[in-house]
Structure 1
Amino acid sequence: MQLFKRNYNRKSMKMKSVLQTHNISWLEPVFWKVLMALCCLVPTTTNLSAHDMYVYQQTVVVTGKVVDDKGGPLEGVSIQVKGQNKKTATDAKGNYKLQGIPVNSILVFSHIGSAPQEHKVSVSGVKNVTMVLAERALEDVVVIGYGTVKKDDLTGSVSQVDMKDLMEAPVGSFDEALAGRVAGVQVSSSDGQPGAGMNIVIRGANSLTQSNAPLYVIDGFPIEDPDNAAVNPEEIESLTILKDASATAIYGARGANGVIIIQTKKGKVGKPIISLNSSLGFQQVAKTMKMMTPWEFVNLQMEISPSRAKDIYTTADLDPSNENYDPNGRTLEDYRNLKGIDWQNLLFRKSLNQNHTLSLRGGTKTTRYSFSGSIFDQQGIIINTGSNRYQARLTLDHEFNKKFRIGLNVNYSENERTGQIVNAGGASNYTAFALYRTWAYRPVTGRINYDLIDAGFDDEYENESDLRLNPIITAKNDYTHRLNYYFTPNVNLEYDINNKLKWKSVFSLNSVRSENQTFYNSETPHGSPRNRFLARGVHGIMGYSQSNVWSNENTLTYKRTFAKAHNLEVMGGFSVQEGSSINKGFGTMGITDETLIMQGLELGIPYTSSASAGEFGMVSGFGRLNYDFKSRYLLTMTYRADGSSKFAKGNRFSYFPSFAAAWNMKREEFLKYSELISEAKLRVSYGATGNNRIGNYDTYGTVNTALSNTYSFGNKLPPGGVYVSKMGNDELRWETTEQLNIGYDLSFLNKRVSLTLDYYQKTTKDLLLNADMPISSGFERVFKNIGSLQNNGFEVTLNTTNINNGKFSWRSSFNIGFNNNKIIKLTRNQHSMFSNMVVGGNTSALYVSRVGYPAGMFYGYIFDGIYQVEDFNISSTGKYTLKSDLPEYGEGSRSSIQPGYIRFKDLNGDGRIDDKDMSIIGRGQPIHAGGFANNFSYKGFYLHVFLQWSYGNDVFNANRMIFDGNYSGLFNVNQYASYNDRWTPENRSNTLYKPSGGGPPGYLSNRTLEDGSFLRLKTVSLSYTIPAQFSKKAYINKLSLRMAIQNLLTFSNYSGMDPEVSTRHSVLTPGFDYSPYPQPRTVTFGLNATL
């Protein structure tokens, strides 16, 4: 037993406070009266006024086990009694033992690579500990704009991504794994093409016509629209998302769409550590479309054109007088036993991908270093497509003395994408789409028996209005190379003027060089001499671009504490950023020797050339004040002034203030000693941010030299000259977003359960829209700040530690975000704004953005089934005439409409289907989206399971208009197997019309609009850490083996290949599916070794 002695003045201190101060309040119920008596027996003097109080303190034997965050035992962990020399270390099984340790003593656990921990000794003497990597300990400090802050002191809505969970996904860029990880952050892709970027929108779209992408701040450098594929995910130390105005206003004119802050890994004090992260895997298409069999295909052609079908496919059924008659030819029944060509199986492949990162990190107290290199190579699941990245990063941090520090961070990356752009954007000729060509190509030949697989084009069927080229041969002959080179050096200087004032300066450069090469030989649709739509023949295009953006940011930060209660931090700064870019390209056609590919461009005839250059500049001043009283009441105020060359004089500067306050209720007396509630904080913020994502010269008018807009006098050639092609507007200004955020952070049971709730409402003013102009101006429209848009939503994030008993742990993370988008105002006298789409060569309005509704609502006709025989009057000659009480397509169409044709609702009841019967038929944005992650660890095993979902959004499946209906009745175009249930006189379907029965061209309806909701088993990862006693025999400190699967299962009612698709992605045109590059299913095997 050990004596415990303290002196106290009975008048100056309450006994309860004394007991709580020394953590012996458990004595109070039993010994209260005795202790009070002892205190009162000894009188005090005016000078000393104290007495001695003796309490016996118990000692125990402390035992336990130390494991890592995956449950594996840790050897060599140091355990020391704080303030004493008594210590020990764990054995190979992670066990330790300490004798004679006083109850309530503090044990300090420390281990290389892990964050140190302190734990109090209890009466039981048993203490099992899970060590956390030092990187994970950094989660207690959150990176914000121009600084860091403790989590407890946050006043804004800030989400810090769990990088450990994020890296469980086997992907090439971090944004691919971000979907569903953070509440209120919507991540989508146009398609699954290797190297394709992701579309990230934070808390709904703020603009209708300008970019809604967030600002990225990578190692302190603000970058708009970076190529995230250039950043190796393995190099990311922390990823923080700023969502409300309090957090983003410090970035002013670029903060309206939210901010993503990325800090890359740096060297740490300690001996050199070599790490290898290597993986190898394969990808395959997750779903293919079931197509018609040969018999089903030929039977359909017999319906479309019986005479042509017999001439090609059933020559035995022809009249003997027909020149194509063949008594030994095929009949329709013969096709039942023929095996058709599976073109999808030939187009898709099981592709390989590999990812390797090697790093060296370490340092002394004055110098820390980090060097890493990586190789990422991803073959596409479509033949002749792929992407690769070669990347290297160097960081050096040096302290010259206690005041002056310097840091260097240099990243270099080369990215290459090869293969076709499967989604051809707004191309009207749908034969240019790879998947269209694959689905459409017929599965079997007819009377001419030749190998379709080896034939470059379909010699048996070709006409002037159609082009049928072998989809596999064209895919193999595609030559599209996009090479990007990224060089990003960053130098930062820090100087402590005194212990309260610090100066920091950051110099950064972002240099990007791009080379694009495209070559169309005679085996491709664009270069084929058979292409009557494009008469360029063999041709090629080469493009080059270079952009450089440099910035310098300087900040002064002042910190001080007054009266041990008032904490003040004031930061002020000044930044300058300039950028320049050049673009040039040329193309030649009619190239005589296609074997030379790009080297043969000089043999062709020049048909296009272009060159452009641009510059921009931005200057800013900003400041932030953080104040708190005992971390109980917190206040944050920010202010930023931005000036941009993109706007005309008088509108170049704008100002963005914000205010935030928080009440940390856990610091109040009524919650301070609560064992149930670990954290309780109320947050409120309001502020303004801007969006400067317009072109460098949008405020200016433009001139053109096109001859089509000049005049000819006296039947002579038009004279040379220029004309104003676009009217300028020197009154253009920033789109400004004002946002209110109310949040509540609550955690229980020593933070085993953490809940974050946020409600926000943000309104964007001065939307940049094309406003109508008077006819007298000579222009139809001009760009103006005139509209308004609102987003409001609710976010929930729940993190729980369900089980953690030292051997087995289970933790979960759940998030969900609701967002409601509404247009408040468009241009003058404008109620709706329509967006047209091109489907099958026809352009029609498919979307509407209407005041009072969300942006990008689907717009069209309402499908009302199929016209049946009973809907017609039948003449004596068998002619059908639609009954007068049923709506016709247009005036005079009653006799042309036939049984089996599509029927639309006559909304206005005038008996005629026209644009007056179009209405809102669906929504493009989800009602809510989120994710649910579960992590299990047992001994050395670690299992990560992540689910992602989206609910309430629709997808327009434009593929079905051609392949699940053949609305224009094209001959020899294969169909989905689902079209076998189409309307026939024997099968009077009310859902699928007969060939050519799709209605007038351009009539788009909700027949092909489908529920895009889905639940996806996004990531499953299983790893095992080999016990240290075995790995160290191979001189490896830590060795983990891993298997991961991405996009394992998708649960959805959507009939297409993938519900998470938007091949025409924009705020105005969401959820459009037309021949996308499919999302792959990925399986990888890897290892992580630390030397």
Structure 2
Amino acid sequence: MKTKLNGILTLLLALVAQVAFAQQTVTGTVTGPDGGPILGATVLVKNSSVFASTDFDGKYTIQASPEDILVFSYTGYDTQEIIVGDQTTIDVSMKTSLDEVVVQAYRSTTTKRSIVASSVVTAKQLEDRPNASAIQRLQGQVAGLSVQTSTGQPGANSLIQIRGVSSINGNTEPLIVIDGIPVDEDVFRTINPLDIESTTVLKDAAGTAIYGNRGANGVIVITTKRADFDQDLTVRYTSQTGFTELLGADYNLFSAQDYLRFERENGVGAGANGFDNSGTPLTDAEIAAFSVSESWEDAFYRTGRNTLHNLNLSSGGKNLSQVTTIGYVEQEGALLASDLQRFTLRNNLNIKSEDERFTSQTSMQLGFSKNNSQTEPDNDRNNFIYFNSIFGANRGLPYFDPNNSQNLERWVDGLQAFYSPYVTLDNTRLNTNKEDEIKMVIGANNAYKITDHITARYNIGMDYTQENYLRVADPNSALARVHASFIGPDAVEGFQTESFFRDFRFNNTLSVGYENTFGADENGEGGHTFLANLYTEYVKGHFKSFNYSQTGLNPRTFSPGNGAGFVADVEDNDEFVPTVGASKASTGLFSYFGEIDYDYDNKFGVFAALRRDASSRFTGDNTWGTFWSVAGRWNVSEMDFMQDVSWVNNLKVRASYGTTGNERIAGTYYGALNNFRTLFNTGIGYGDNQTFFRSQLGNESLRWETIKTANLGIEFGLFENRLRSTIEVYDRKTEDLFFNIFVSTLVTPSGSIQANVGDLSNKGAELALNYDLFRSDQADGFNFTVNANINYNEFEVTKIDAEGGLIDNGSTVIQEGAQLNEYFVVPYLGVNPANGNLLFEDINGNPTENPTLEDRRLTGTDSQPDFQGGFGFNTSYKGFFLESQFVFMTGLERFDSNLASYYDINDLGQYQLSSDLERSWTPDNRITDMPAVNATNLSPGVTSDRFLINSNFVRWRFLQLGYNFDREMLEKTFLQNVRIYANGENLATFSNWLGFDPESTRQSELNRYPTPRTVSVGIDLTF
């Protein structure tokens, strides 16, 4: 017996030894298509419970036998299986999955089953950029998405549009949804870009109709980063620092000496009268000796500093995981006294029950911003800064220190002082224009799996905004002293206005859904998948604001924002009477809706959605709106007859049609209702009593704008998915456009009411393309990918309920058969060789020097681009990576009012002018493009296309060069990953536009803050 036992033990030991000998340690690196390491990829020994996860350098270690199969998987990438054999090192380059998870309205699906026209931007495409705005980082990366910035002010809003302009007076920006919570557009401005996991842009009715009245302009769905369960604590720190500087303009401006000579030739200014205004012209020697040591641009503009810090902590247990991110951004604008400071905090929790039937995803975003800015001109007397007084300053005058009051006093002389660079510089130094903002978004997405096929969900979200504005014209400033000079010699001036704004929005969505697959064979093929969801939603919004304004500030006791130092009203003119205002409003939206989705074996799919909305913005039968969509797809590459076509990896055709609505009327909460105001000032109403009056006449017939959208799309991936592309064709028609129609001021003080006046059509096409020129299977191999996207959009006013089918806005019109706000001007022909006057073309095609309004005609152009898009590349090799991106717009024109001011000969002796005036017509120079300095029709009284300039452009938007340190270099440190980089934004612009920035939302360019160039360096550390 003992002998048998010994034999058995011997056999067992031998078996164990053999197994132990057969097991081997396998190591390697898992990388993405761009060669970068993938964190958290799973490496599994097939048919076992043995697995490992990759670290921050993409590396893993696992025990396996030669006959084992390792399964490599990661969300968004194809799963790969590799036999171990005698290999001890196995490196894997993951390929982008054709069946990755994508967001589709209120739910998620896979790429194969997605039926909507959408574009996805990943976290990697948004990170590392120096711009504090997440939305501006999307520019040029999504076909059909337009992101235009009209100012260089740090933290300023951008105009966001998807597939053109769908409204005239309605809101044209898309709905923003963050982690399932519809939010105000400003939240996108303040969200920390490093918190974003992915951004999905929904463009057609299949993706937007389920949002009903809020989906008219497209939807941008943001998914923020979350931690996995059973994840160790991970700490990530990122930091950037850099500088911002002004981009240059290409106007041909006079030098100081040439300007003085031109003055002398024309008998104006210091050149003709001397610096002492003695009437004696300057000599050539005096002009040659004159030198401006510092330009006015240098006095106002600077090289601004930018700093960014982010700390991210993520961890996960069995039933709870969390991500916390703390961010701080500080940006100095290129203009003095313009800057942004922003603090952000985000916490995301994932919760699940033991049986995993209950799940909850909570999110909390908090942001606090402090913004100092220099206001652009408006129509009141409290303008703080005129940018033209900087760039248009007379260089024929010496530069003076603004602290020298004697030099300042010479400019405090009537209205002309408003445009003086001395006054402007003084205002920059003393005046205040700041905004403090608090943004908070809290939400929870809860789900309970009632059965294996039925799930109930309850989503709740809150979006809170609080803003405080303070605007001060300091009593010691030149601006205040100019105003005081209008009142009297001993007058005290200065101005302060302070306002408070609060917006609270509450969103509740309750749903129940059913999903089941049936009829599949034992391999899971040939199945029918049916999905149905029913929803009800309630949205409530509360708005409140109040403001206080006071003219007359005591320079001895006043301090901005502290409420002290106001001058009592003791004058008969009520100059110092304070103004107080307040307003509040509430909005509500109740909806019920549903969707159904059917799929057959990933080959065919159909989808339908229906939604009913009731909005508090409308009355009577117009309160309710009904919106719907239908869509279908055909996954051609999944068909049996395509299985032998190896070079086609993906081919899908889809089509959709549906309707969405727009309730958001620009500038008002209630366009359909009568609004009333109470004025408490004495001397306002009858018998000097307080007044209660109707401030807005309602329109009970006002109804939703309705957008009908048809879309046809083709997606394909060829040659092992080296070539990936999407082509879209769409037709959008907006019916019942919002617009102000004029009524008598005896009926309503505004002189207009909101009405539905016409229809608008947008038609276009999109192309998105990615191609891997080089794609290595090695972790440190050479990879090179190019990308491009382009959108073509044409829009036309198809109906307008106005006299003659035309609304005349002066230099633009809204007319049936024309583009929206198409330019309506007199053609400019050039200079009359006979007398140097300007020549125009009248309505009969004949030259004229005196055009009239009847000579205006449509130009076929507007300020919206026909084509826009972006292109670029990214490459990597042995830890080094390089990325570059360009954006472009074509087919748009804008008025260059700056150029017009530089050509205005009437400003000679006061402001800077263009040296092009040296080509002015004279009897000896009759053939020229510049009129005579004494031309009699320089202001013809009607707008012409003389300064309507083509503003097409190509901009080098982004460049980044960096290095990922190899894990072996860090193995003796506490660091898991180190990445360093340098990048630049708005590096160069190629355009015929002479001004600072051809990219603008405005039809005319004058007195504006130019967009700057930004260069920075950064580091990314993981512990």
Q: TM-score, normalised by structure 2?
A: 0.87
Distance 2:358 2:41 in 1: 34
Aligned in 2, Cα 1:367/1:1055: closer, same or farther, shift over 3 Å? same
After TM superposition, give the deviation of residue 743 of structure 1 in Å.
0.6
**Could you say if the C-alpha distance between residues 86 and 420 of structure 1 is closer, same or farther in structure 2, counting changes exceeding 3 Å?**
closer
Equivalent of 1:990, from 925, 928, 931?
Answer: 928
Aligned to 1:259: 219
Report the Cα distance in structure 2 between the residues aligned to 1:782 and 1:1055, rounded to whole angstroms. 40
Partner in structure 1 of residue 111 of structure 2: 151
Equivalence map 1:705-720=2 (5 Å): none
**TM-fit CA distance, 1:123:** 12
Cα 1:125–1:398 change in 2 (3 A) is: closer
Name the residue aligned to 1:553: 509
Note the 1:391-406 alignment, pairs <5 A: 391-401=344-354, 402-406=356-360
Partner in structure 2 of residue 886 of structure 1: none
How far has the Cα of 1:454 moved from its partner? 4.2
**Are residues 1:339 and 2:304 paired?**
no
Cα-to-partner distance string for 1:482-541 (whole Å, 9 max, x where unaligned): 000012211232111011011111121111111100110145464233576899821111
- CA shift for structure 1 position 900: 3.2
Verify: 1:528 aligned to 2:528, yes or no: no
- Residue 931 of structure 2 aligns to a residue in which SS? coil
2:210 pairs, out of 250, 271, 279, with 250
Is the 2:697–2:748 Cα contact (8 Å) retained in structure 1? no
Query: 1:73 Cα deviation (Å)?
Result: 7.4
Q: Distance in 2 between matches of 1:436 and 1:942?
A: 42
Aligned to 1:646: 617
Match of 1:109 among 64, 72, 94: 72
- 1:445-456 to 2 correspondences below 5 Å: 445=397, 454=404
How many angstroms apart in 1 are the aligned matches of 2:425 and 2:746? 55
1:856 aligns with 2:834: no
Q: Which residue of 2 aligns with 1:418?
A: 372
Q: Give the structure-1-normalised TM-score.
A: 0.82
CA contact (8 A) 1:75 1:1028 kept: no
CA offsets 1:46-96 (integer angstroms, 9 cap, x no match): xxxxxxxxxxxxx9x999963533536799998655236999999999799
The answer on whether the counterparts of 1:538 and 1:590 sit within 8 Å (CA) in structure 2 is yes
AA aligned to 1:630 is D
Secondary structure at the aligned position of 1:361 is classed as: strand
Classify 1:362/1:988 alpha carbon distance in 2 versus 1 (closer, same or farther; 3 Å): farther
CA contact (8 A) 1:184 1:816 kept: yes
Question: 1:953 Cα shift?
Answer: 0.9
Q: 1:593·1:600 contact (CA, 8 Å) conserved in 2? A: no
Unaligned runs of 5+ in 2: 1-21, 521-526, 568-575
Q: CA RMSD in A?
A: 3.5
Q: 1:759 aligns with which of 713, 729, 743?
A: 729
Residue deviations 1:699-734, cap 9 Å, x none? Answer: 12345678999999xxx9577755555432111110
SS at match of 2:757: strand
Distance 1:442 1:653, change over 3 A: same
Deviates more, 1:849-858 or 1:776-785: 776-785
Match of 1:699 among 645, 652, 672: 672
Which residue is 1:218 aligned to? 178
Structure with bigger gyration radius: 1
Does the Cα contact within 8 Å between 2:374 and 2:385 map onto a contact in 1?
no
- 2:622 is the counterpart of 1:660: no
CA distance in 2, matches of 1:558, 1:106: 37
The answer to whether the Cα contact below 8 Å between 2:682 and 2:688 also exists between their aligned partners in 1 is no
Check conservation: 1:62, 1:125, Cα contact below 8 A: no
Percent of counterpart pairs with the same letter? 24
For the structure 1 residues 762 and 460, does the alpha-carbon distance in structure 2 shift closer, same or farther, using more than 3 Å as the test? same
The offset of 1:670, in angstroms, is: 1.2
**Counterpart in 2 of 1:279?**
240
Contact 1:735/1:764 (<8 A) preserved: yes
* 1:239 aligned partner: 199
Q: Is the 8 A contact 2:384 2:473 kept in 1?
A: no
Within 2, Cα distance between the matches of 1:165 and 1:656? Answer: 34
**Which among 363, 378, 401 is matched to residue 409 of structure 1?**
363
Q: Aligned to 1:165, what secondary structure does the other structure show?
A: helix
Residue 1076 in structure 1 maps to residue 1008 in structure 2: yes
Relative to structure 1, the CA distance from residue 167 to residue 531 in structure 2 (aligned partners, 3 Å threshold; closer, same or farther) is: farther
* Equivalent in 587, 591, 597 of residue 616 of structure 1: 587
Q: 1:781 and 1:78, CA in 2 relative to 1: closer, same or farther beyond 3 A?
A: closer
1:1033 to 969, 972, 977: 972
What SS does structure 2 have at the residue aligned with 1:283? strand
Query: Which piece of structure 1 moves more, 1020-1029 or 1071-1080?
Result: 1071-1080
Correspondence 1:1010 to 2:949:
yes
Report the Cα distance in structure 2 between the residues aligned to 1:775 and 1:375, rounded to whole angstroms.
50
- What SS does the corresponding residue of 1:615 show, helix, strand or coil? strand
Q: Which amino acid aligns with 1:575?
A: E
In structure 2, do the counterparts of structure 1 residues 748 and 544 end up closer, same or farther at CA, with 3 Å as the change threshold?
A: same
Q: Any idea what SS the aligned residue of 1:71 has?
A: coil
> Within 5 A, what are the aligned runs for 1:305-704?
305-306=267-268, 310-313=272-275, 324=278, 330-340=282-292, 341-401=294-354, 402-421=356-375, 423-424=376-377, 426-427=378-379, 433-445=385-397, 454=404, 459-460=409-410, 464-467=414-417, 468-470=420-422, 471-522=424-475, 524=477, 526-529=479-482, 537-564=493-520, 565-593=527-555, 596-599=559-562, 601-604=564-567, 605-694=576-665, 695-703=668-676
User: More deviation in 357-366 or 969-978?
Assistant: 969-978
Q: Deviations over 1:76-122 (max 9, x none)?
A: 998655236999999999799999856xx8532369x9978423559
Q: Is the 8 A contact 1:469 1:525 kept in 2?
A: no
CA 1:761–1:114 in 2, change beyond 3 Å: closer, same or farther?
closer
Task: Read off the aligned partner of 1:966 and give its amino acid letter.
Answer: D
Displacement of 1:1027 in angstroms is 1.0
Structure 1 CA distance for aligned equivalents of residues 324 and 25 of structure 2? 42
**Number of matched pairs:** 964
The answer on 1:1085 being equivalent to 2:1017 is: yes
Structure 1 residue 189 displacement after superposition: 1.2
1:1000 maps to what in 2? Answer: 939
Structure 1 contact 419–478 (Cα < 8 Å) conserved: no
Match of 1:802 in 2: 773
Partner SS state of residue 194, structure 1: coil
Q: Does 1:728 align with 2:698?
A: yes
The whole-number CA distance in structure 1 between the counterparts of 2:1010 and 2:246 is: 7
Query: Counterparts of 1:122-201 in structure 2 under 5 Å?
Result: 129-131=91-93, 140-201=100-161
How far did residue 801 of structure 1 move? Answer: 1.6
Given the superposition, is the C-alpha separation of residues 308 and 131 from structure 1 closer, same or farther in structure 2, using an over 3 Å criterion? closer
Task: Name the amino acid aligned to 2:233.
Answer: P
> Where in structure 1 are there 5+ consecutive unaligned residues?
1-58, 316-323, 836-844, 872-898, 1065-1070
Report which stretch shifted further, 242-251 or 123-132.
Answer: 123-132
Q: 1:984 to 1:530 in 2, by over 3 A?
A: farther
In structure 1, distance between residues paired with 2:228 and 2:51: 25
Structure 1 residue 442: deviation in Å? Answer: 2.1
**Deviation of the 1:826 alpha carbon:** 1.0
2:801 is the alignment partner of 1:831: no
Greater displacement, 641-650 / 118-127: 118-127
Q: Deviations over 1:272-296 (max 9, x none)?
A: 1101111111111121456422222
Taking structure 1 as reference, are residues 920 and 187 closer, same or farther at Cα in structure 2, changes over 3 Å only? same
The code of the aligned residue for 2:787 comes to S
SS at match of 1:1042: strand
